[in-house]
Structure 1
Amino acid sequence: MKSMTLASGGPRVATLQSIAEAAGVHRSTAARALDPAQAHRISPEVVEKVRTEALRQGYRRDAIAASLRTGRSRLVGVVLPDLANPVFAPILDGIGAALAQGGYSMLVAEGGADEGRQVAIVEELIARRVDGLVLATVRRSDPVLTVCLGAGVPTVLVNRAEDDLRAATVVSDDIGGMRLAVEHLVALGHRRIGHLAGSEALSTGVLRRRGFEAAMAAAGLDASAVSVAPAYSRPLGQAATAFLLDTWPGLTAVAASNDLLALGAYQELKQRGLSCPDDISVVGYNDMPLVDMVDPPLTTVRIAHAEMGRTAAQQLLERLSDADVAARMQFMPVELVVRASTQEPK
């Protein structure tokens, strides 16, 4: 804690009692005013008065001491698969905003794609006594979640889901989103449409492929032109596009299950001297930041990423207040954003 110098003389350590006395309130009232999770219980005027006095005296709330008293750290661990992936920035913003409103802070970690590393990271976060976890890394049957549940730590999944509902989950309508993409291409007149699918180990890869196949079947079209990328990245998207074009010549459009895969398709088309959209139209999925700035701007399926993050954090806060809240799957709405990467086929 910082020290303050009073008019009466030498330095004195600012304490909760000194804040309460200067603000003219009881010590317990001062404690609530300085606790983000409890400040709503007293009037805004009192909160402002106490916080102003705390700032004047240089007081800092002792989070460790508070944790020892309450048995809670007020920390939530958030594990992402790739911090460099622009998709996760707005999700993280949403999580952080909702947690802050609830009086919690985040510890953010990159889990990568390796299960062993993810387990180690989660175990480290649990050792640091996080009150809950938000996982954006899960596979359809995920050993990391098993560790979390075994440790009794409230956990919420975001953006990706397991096949079985073992924990509260917030995802986009992946099947419906891919259906929008295919219906857009069909409405433009495309009949030979390929799909760049994500990994079959991930719910996003499987469900978006199902959406593609269902929409193609509804239009009476062949859905066999599918190339699977083992992970979401531009290089793998380019490789998957090369296989797609080599195996099914004559395609006029590609529906990608991820914007990074779609950008990989751009690279492969350019390498082959083909034009998007003059030769092949491309639709992405996610509407990640800056895809409206590429050439051509990418038609894509938009997910409410920030709202997804907020909703996941709110579900976790519910479970931190009541451990008996039943797990539920919550779907976020999607919409098609039409830009210049799609047009009628020649």
Structure 2
Amino acid sequence: MSRASTLSDVARRAGVHQATASRALNPASRHLVSKSTAERVLVAARELGYVPNGIARGLRTNRSHTVGVIIPDLMNPLFPPIVRGIEDVLADEGYTALLANTDNDEQRERTQFEALVTRRVDGIIMATARRDHPLLAEAAHRGLKVVLVNRDTERADFSAVTTDDWLGVAMATEHMIGLGHQRIGHLSGPPGLSTGSTRVRSFRETLHSHRLDAPPEYIEVCDAYSEAAGASATRLLLDRAPELTAIVAANDLLALGACDVFRERGIACPERMSITGFNDMPFADKFHPALTTVRVPHYDLGAEAGRLLLEQLMQPTHLTKRLSLPPKLIVRASTAPPYDANTSTSNPA
């Protein structure tokens, strides 16, 4: 059996010093050599079938060049583009993302967290943050590099990349008001999450700024961001407040569950009930009717989170940064002016 090629073999084939070959093969240091030299080294490595020894490199640098990415629900369509953004940025610097899915289970999250720490990841990007999150205190105690993405926490000592949840819900609510709706309900996300807490406060304040009411019976708190939770909450909401003409949902899956209930009860959307979502997840434009929603730049959220973590890894002393990316209202067919039985142009179900 022939021996495996070594870094020395690659350097000899490319006609460069071994240190130069090492820099050219590492994406994080490739910029330190000329483009032509780097290409020559890469060609030599391919010809020789050279595979870098990540373990040996980790021993030299005291880094594993891996990053843990903890997400709450791999089946939720908004997380794959976030993960893709993280992976693309990390790969450019020679890092590999290790994905851990928690299924919104706190014990599973702790198990995954410990597994990533055991594997000596250089840092963690966490999309599972709750407003009060014990694991973050533990991470800080251990000196781990952590960046939060999509969700925030009450702690100010972690960098975070989120979208402007307040602005997004305000735009959706303003859209409903602009169409003429005055009796508007809200499907709120879990209050223990920054997204749920911020979005329901924005909903209330936006209505208040237009001198409209948001009584308790117009707001239903969902225990999860899921279609099933949205359907269950919508049934309760409509039973309690049948006079509603519009619903602002805290995310697209909740809106999808609401649409299931509309069909179940023979409520035409948008003729008798308008609805908006939040996220503009894949295929939201294929809903029936196509969903008016707030578009969140999920790929950019992941990419910025990756960049923030790399900054922490490359700069021993760094400042905590909190980035808020702007959302955009996407108007589709699920919203319309409220039905008026006294007009001849209305088309009730």
Within the alignment, does 1:231 sit opposite 2:224 as a pair? yes
SS of residue matched to 2:277: strand
1:330 counterpart (308, 323, 329): 323
1:260 counterpart (239, 253, 262): 253
1:244 counterpart (234, 237, 245): 237
Unaligned runs of 5+ in 1: 4-10
Aligned to 2:155: 164
- State how far apart, in whole Å, the 2-side matches of 1:112 and 1:263 are: 20
User: Percent of counterpart pairs with the same letter?
Assistant: 45
SS of residue matched to 1:48: helix
CA RMSD of aligned residues (A): 1.0
**TM-score where L is the length of structure 1:** 0.96
2:88 counterpart (97, 102, 112): 97
- State how far apart, in whole Å, the 1-side matches of 2:311 and 2:214 are: 42
Deviation at 1:12, TM superposition (A): 4.5
Within the alignment, does 1:137 sit opposite 2:132 as a pair? no
Within the alignment, does 1:214 sit opposite 2:205 as a pair? yes
Question: Which aligned pairs between 1:169-180 and structure 2 lie closer than 5 A?
Answer: 169-180=160-171
Letter in 2 for 1:312: A
- State how far apart, in whole Å, the 1-side matches of 2:229 and 2:87 are: 31
1:56 counterpart (41, 47, 50): 47
Question: Which aligned pairs between 1:108-119 and structure 2 lie closer than 5 A?
Answer: 108-119=99-110
CA offsets 1:147-192 (integer angstroms, 9 cap, x no match): 2222211000000011221210111100110000000011111110
**TM-score where L is the length of structure 2:** 0.95
Aligned residues of 1:287 and 1:303 also touching (Cα < 8 A): yes
- State how far apart, in whole Å, the 1-side matches of 2:280 and 2:261 are: 20
Aligned residues of 1:115 and 1:143 also touching (Cα < 8 A): no
Within the alignment, does 1:197 sit opposite 2:188 as a pair? yes
Aligned to 1:7: none
Within the alignment, does 1:341 sit opposite 2:334 as a pair? yes
Unaligned runs of 5+ in 2: 340-349
Letter in 1 for 2:236: F
Letter in 1 for 2:56: A
Within the alignment, does 1:295 sit opposite 2:288 as a pair? yes
Letter in 2 for 1:287: D
Deviation at 1:114, TM superposition (A): 2.2
Q: How many residues align?
A: 337
- State how far apart, in whole Å, the 2-side matches of 1:281 and 1:202 are: 26
Aligned residues of 1:122 and 1:148 also touching (Cα < 8 A): no
2:270 counterpart (250, 272, 277): 277
